[in-house]
Amino acid sequence: MNAEVIDEITEGVAKCYLIRVKLTDYITSLPGDYRDYEVQREIVNNSYLDNLIQTILERRHIPQMVLVAEDSTLQPHNGNIKIGAFKVLDGLQRTYRLKVIYDTIQLAISELKASPNIVDLSRSQLSREYREQLREIKSSAILFEKLLNYFSENAYEDPIALNQLLDRSQWFELWVGLEPPDEVNKMLILNAGHKAVKNQHQLELLFSNMLPLFKNMNHVGFEVIRERDTSTIAYSKHRVAGQFHFSHLITSVLSFNAGKPITNNVNLIQKANSDDFDDTIFEKLISYNFIEQFISTLMLLDDELSKVYGDVAIRWLGRETSLTGLFAACGKYSKERDLIPVVALTELTQKITANPHALNLKNFEEIRNSLNLSKVNIGNVNKKAVFDASFDLLSGYSDFIIWQSYFNKAV
């Protein structure tokens, strides 16, 4: 993709170029996996963005987007720069819809050439006759109809004329030599004024260096679920044994390290993104051996508890409140007994798998479901109850959990 350089700035070892590109060139240069960039959120529903076609038809301005060049040595020559592989740092939602518009224009051109009378079809007729073609390119009969009407209203003779709609210049910021942590920070800043990026997704970004550790473990049936792929709400409704949400894994590890339950909220995101955050946690705790034992613990608990409690256990282990409370208790136990983390996890596994009935999870669900949600913060209460009960079980203060007493203390 060729671009004209309008301006440039330097920021540390990185450079940012303000560039001008033909919109058609941008769309046709998109990599096949342009939606898979780790720091980006999923495609979201937005009626204003869905109506981007009006901006195109009326030839109005599209706000600039931000790209990151994969070649860190890229430099302009004679006022131009040739961009190879790139990622979309900001503007994924617009890019996705521009790609749909481009593909729908190509469909319109093809069908107009074959059957010019297509312009006389109603929206419902277009929907019926072109349902499969439109579904394949993620388009709609509404968008298809708008393009056909535009062609008819402008009395074009050649359908190719529709390509003129995207034959326009578009401004971009192009970052070259940007370090991965800076990419994450810029993405969060760029989205600060937009629809909020979910806390779970932000947390996953900030701790993305943990993901390869989880994914590279050879545990049969273990699967990490990402927020950008499946929301925590959808995950909790459809979880199967062996699946764990990445954001839950992060808060569980942080809770183990702290020896108390950690809540995934704005304060945690800000703290993890600040210079004051104790990132030595990764040197002290996050290691292959720890993650190996951590996952072994999760999988063994999933297996043993599912045998005893069935779907109740599937739901219980799919909740962040359960996992953070459980592993916070294990972390506290590790500190008080001066045990290395792997040993503490091993003892947790042995204690519960030896007597899974001790968790009394059906009683947990009964008490939890009886709480008045208008009077308590159910998340905090659950976490505190699981934390206290699990610590007592680990420490030998209890060999069978009566959940009512722990919920009473937590309320």
For residues 325 and 250, the answer to whether their CB atoms sit within 8 Å is no
Evaluate whether 333 touches 341 at the Cβ level (below 8 Å).
no
pLDDT of residue 312: 95
Q: Which residues pair with 244 in a beta bridge?
A: 224
Question: Please, what is the angle between helix 378-395 and helix 320-336, to 10°?
Answer: 40
| pLDDT, position 295 | 87
pLDDT for the residue 203:
46
Please tell me which residue, 188 or 233, carries the higher pLDDT value: 233
Q: Which own/partner contact pairs does 368-377 have at CB distance under 8 Å and 24+ positions apart?
A: 368/403, 368/407, 371/407, 371/411, 376/411
* Domain residue ranges of the chain, discontinuous segments joined by +: 2-176, 198-410
* 3 state SS of 20: strand
- What mean pLDDT is predicted for residues 387-395? 95
What pLDDT score was predicted for residue 288?
A: 67
Instruction: Give me the pLDDT at residue 383, please.
Output: 92
Across the chain, mean pLDDT equals 84
Asked if pLDDT for residue 124 goes beyond 70, the answer is yes
Read off the pLDDT of each residue in 69-79 and give the average, rounded to a whole number: 90
Query: What's the mean pLDDT in 364-384?
Result: 88
Q: Give the residue with greater pLDDT, 235 vs 350.
A: 350
Report residue 224: phi and psi, to 5°: -95, 125
pLDDT digits (tens, 9 = 90+) for 307-362: 999 999 999 999 999 999 999 999 999 999 999 999 999 999 999 999 999 999 99
Query: 22: which strand partners?
Result: 169
Tell me the C-alpha to C-alpha distance, in Å, between residue 79 and each of 19, 97, 314: 10, 30, 59
Among candidate residues 9, 11, 134, 27, the one with its CA nearest the CA of residue 86: 27
Does residue 199 have a pLDDT over 50?
A: no
CA distance 356 to 350: 10
> How confident is the model at residue 72, as a pLDDT?
85
Task: Average the pLDDT over 46-64 and give the result.
Answer: 81
The more confidently predicted of residues 107 and 13 is 107
Predicted pLDDT of residue 326? 96
Per-residue confidence (pLDDT) for residue 373, from 0 to 100:
78
Q: Identify the pLDDT of residue 192.
A: 45
391, 325 Cβ separation under 8 angstroms: no
pLDDT(47) > 70: no
Instruction: Return the percentage of the chain with pLDDT > 90, whole number.
Output: 56
Three-class SS state of 158: coil
DSSP assignment string, 269-286 = HHHHTSTTS-TTHHHHT-
pLDDT for 183 equals 67
CA distance 184 to 206: 7
Comparison of pLDDT for 111 and 205, the residue scoring more: 111
The pLDDT value recorded for residue 226 is: 78
Which residues contact residue 252 at a Cβ distance below 8 angstroms, ignoring those fewer than 6 apart? 294, 320, 323, 324, 326, 327
- Hunting for tokens 């990132």 — which residue is that? 279
Instruction: With a cut of 90, say whether residue 188 has pLDDT above it.
Output: no
Give the 3-state secondary structure of residue 9: strand
- Report the residue count for the chain: 411
pLDDT of 270 above 90: no
**123 vs 200, higher pLDDT:** 123
Residue 109 — very low, low, confident or very high, per pLDDT cuts 50/70/90? Answer: very high
Q: In 3-state terms, the chain is what percent helix, strand and coil (to 5)? A: 60, 10, 30
Mean pLDDT of 375-403: 92
**pLDDT tens-digit series, residues 127-159:** 999 999 999 999 999 999 999 999 999 988 899
What is the per-residue pLDDT for 285?
52
Instruction: Give the per-residue pLDDT at 193.
Output: 42
Q: Give me the pLDDT at residue 291, please.
A: 79
Nearest to 233 by CA among 197, 187, 198, 192: 198
Residue 45 has pLDDT above 80, yes or no: no
